[in-house]
Amino acid sequence: MALLEIPSRNAFDQELILEKSVFNPGDFGEVRIPVGRMPSDTRLYVNTYVFRSYHPGPTLLILAGVHGDEINSIEVVSQLLQEGTFDHLKTGNVIAIPLLNVFGFNNFSRDVPDGKDVNRSFPGALGGSLAARVAATLTKKILPFVDLAVDMHTGGSSRFNHPQARFHSRQSPAFEMAKVFNTPYVIKQPVISKSFRKTAKDLNIPAIVFEAGESVRLDGDAIHFGKRGVKRLLHHLGMIDFEDNETVHSTVIERTTWQRASQSGIFIWSRSSGDFIQKGEPLGVIKDPYGNKSVTVLSRYTGFIIGHNNASVVNQGDALFHIGIEYDHEGF
């Protein structure tokens, strides 16, 4: 019996149809969904992988690459596919998308070529901007089949995130999903307007965000926590057998804030993500390029560092540390 119960919105014997591909119970395969063309007239597709078991259960969407430069998220899903994690599901279905924002990936960019953020363009519009079209492809063609979702991300713009799962409400099934994912931090975060998670919430699809690592930089721990979290979730849904011998303590973070740079210069941090810090504790130094002036960065808060800035040079006002300041350290 599944330890985490998520009802299915569709009859199990109903055909799952993507583009012109039809998937019945027991079927699996790849669907290439067209999302547009490059200026060279090269057609771009979102490669979508569908796995159906022979027995009723929920449909889990595993989504990555909403931001094209978040390589860790892409690699998590890529490795899960390569290892055959979804090949023999006991119940339910999995839809896996390793790379949604193909445009951003090709340009080593978080966004699409017009500068818009796909994750601020949901639910999207098939006749809208490029970002809106990519978002609409997911909203209109994939989400009608989905019962719950994991949206994989990494930190952006040189920011590193300690492995964490984000949910929007303790009353939502998303909180239970985040607990099952078993990351060092489980963070309550309101849904953001026009984000994937907001659209999922509007459609009554429980969704969590997994954050780990830094953009354009592979990180073994981030990938490991992502793969392990997905397998734990699948196991708790009764979809696969998985024995986890690495359970970590999860601290629940109720509120976070940013500590920002008081001046510009070369930034050298002495504390980093995963550390517990006290108000007034040194976190690093900011110095000028000439060795004349140096300012110690003192923590304005007591809490857990859940993310930090790896940029070597910072401007006044730049985010240096993301700190969880209201927390339940007993966690689970």
Instruction: Note the pLDDT tens digit of each residue in 209-232.
Output: 999 999 999 999 999 999 999 999
Judgement on whether residues 292 and 184 belong to the same structural domain of the protein: no
Element (H, E) at 308: strand 303-309
**Looking at residue 329, what is its pLDDT?**
75
- Specify the number of domains making up the chain: 2
Q: What is the Rg, in whole angstroms, of the alpha carbon atoms belonging to the chain?
A: 21
Judgement on whether residues 62 and 88 belong to the same structural domain of the protein: yes
Domain end point (choices 184, 209, 236): 236
Q: Is residue 11 part of a domain?
A: no
Judgement on whether residues 232 and 291 belong to the same structural domain of the protein: no
Domain end point (choices 209, 236, 263): 236
Q: CA 72 to CA 80: how far, in whole Å?
A: 12
Judgement on whether residues 183 and 278 belong to the same structural domain of the protein: no
Q: CA 98 to CA 150: how far, in whole Å?
A: 12
Judgement on whether residues 24 and 164 belong to the same structural domain of the protein: yes
Q: Is residue 63 part of a domain?
A: yes
Element (H, E) at 295: strand 294-298
CB 305 within 8 A of CB 245: no
* Structure token digits, residue 87: 């090949």
Judgement on whether residues 169 and 304 belong to the same structural domain of the protein: no
Report the mean per-residue pLDDT for the chain: 96
Query: pLDDT class for 332, splitting at 50, 70, 90?
Result: confident
* Placement of tokens 């599944």 in the chain: 2
Q: Is residue 27 part of a domain?
A: yes
Q: Is residue 265 part of a domain?
A: yes
CATH value at residue 273: 2.40.50.100
Containing structural domain, residue 229: 16-236
Cα distances from 179 to residues 7, 124, 255, 277, in angstroms, run 18, 30, 17, 24
* pTM, to two decimals: 0.96
Judgement on whether residues 303 and 179 belong to the same structural domain of the protein: no
Closest CA to 191 of 137, 120, 136: 120
Judgement on whether residues 303 and 185 belong to the same structural domain of the protein: no
Q: Is residue 285 part of a domain?
A: yes
Lowest mean pLDDT among 4-8, 270-274, 318-322: 4-8
Closest CA to 211 of 185, 176, 250: 185
**Looking at residue 157, what is its pLDDT?**
83
Q: Is residue 5 part of a domain?
A: no
**Looking at residue 331, what is its pLDDT?**
74
Closest CA to 214 of 159, 261, 166, 265: 159
Q: Is residue 4 part of a domain?
A: no
Q: Does the pLDDT value for residue 46 go beyond 70?
A: yes
Judgement on whether residues 301 and 269 belong to the same structural domain of the protein: yes
**First CA to last CA across the chain, in angstroms?**
22
Judgement on whether residues 91 and 225 belong to the same structural domain of the protein: yes
* Structure token digits, residue 44: 């771009």
Judgement on whether residues 164 and 231 belong to the same structural domain of the protein: yes
CATH value at residue 25: 3.40.630.10
CB contact set of 98 (below 8 Å; sequence gap of 6+): 47, 49, 64, 65, 74, 77, 78, 81
* Structure token digits, residue 196: 């994937």
CB 248 within 8 A of CB 183: yes
**Looking at residue 1, what is its pLDDT?**
44
Judgement on whether residues 85 and 61 belong to the same structural domain of the protein: yes
